[in-house]
């Protein structure tokens, strides 16, 4: 299993958190309507950060490069802000991503009753990554996975992540 975990991804999360929370989020129906593209996820999501908050997208790429998180090569990275609330608990499911690598940066406060499950091909649980604020996890997009422990009622107390989809170019 390929799994990368990096603690304290942002050196200054407390400084950028107010800016992160200013990024506009959309429900799935509005996202599809405005973007004219398919989407399937629970909760609220931003448009790609390279459009909706370019400075944050560039900061993420700069940190990836500085910390040498990925193997050498060129990568295309799509990033989104994603909020899941208590009401989204029953709306999530086990799935795979189409991208080579999937990644999450846990943004909101640590919640050890939340995180990401990884499963094998028979839906047996093989890893439970806890939701620790400012933790980055990267795993193969082919791994079956699901978020769990969605909580809160707003951006101030919900499960806020930055979702990344990474492919070599």
Distance CA 164, CA 146 (A): 15
- Average confidence score pLDDT of the chain: 94
Token pair 């940190």 in the structure block, residue: 63
Task: Decide if pLDDT at 55 tops 90.
Answer: yes
Task: Decide if pLDDT at 118 tops 80.
Answer: yes
Return the CATH number at 26.
Answer: 2.60.120.620
pTM: 0.95
Specify the pLDDT at position 38: 78
Instruction: Please tell me the total count of domains within the chain.
Output: 1
Range of the domain at 137: 3-168
Task: Decide if pLDDT at 1 tops 60.
Answer: no
67-117 pLDDT, tens digit per residue, is 999 988 899 999 999 999 999 988 888 999 999 999 999 999 999 999 999
- For 20-33, what is the mean pLDDT? 93
What residue spans of the chain are helical by DSSP H?
13-20, 28-35, 49-52, 54-67
Specify whether the CB–CB gap between 77 and 48 falls below 8 A: no
Specify the pLDDT at position 80: 97
């Amino acid at each position: 299993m390929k799994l990368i975990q990096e603690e304290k991804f942002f050196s200054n999360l407390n400084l950028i958190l107010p800016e992160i929370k200013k990024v506009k989020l959309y429900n799935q129906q509005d996202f599809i309507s405005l973007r004219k593209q398919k989407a399937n996820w629970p909760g609220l999501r931003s448009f790609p950060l390279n459009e909706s908050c370019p400075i944050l997208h560039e900061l993420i790429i700069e940190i990836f490069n500085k910390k040498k998180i990925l193997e050498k090569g060129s990568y295309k990275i799509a990033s989104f802000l994603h909020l899941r609330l208590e009401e989204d608990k029953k709306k999530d499911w086990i799935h795979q991503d189409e991208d080579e690598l999937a990644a999450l940066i846990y943004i909101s406060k640590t919640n050890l009753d939340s995180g990401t499950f990884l499963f094998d091909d028979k839906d047996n649980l093989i890893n439970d990554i806890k939701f620790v604020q400012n933790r980055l996890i990267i795993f193969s997009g082919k791994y079956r996975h699901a978020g769990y422990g969605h909580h809160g009622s707003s951006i101030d107390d919900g499960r806020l992540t930055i979702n990344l989809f990474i492919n070599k170019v």
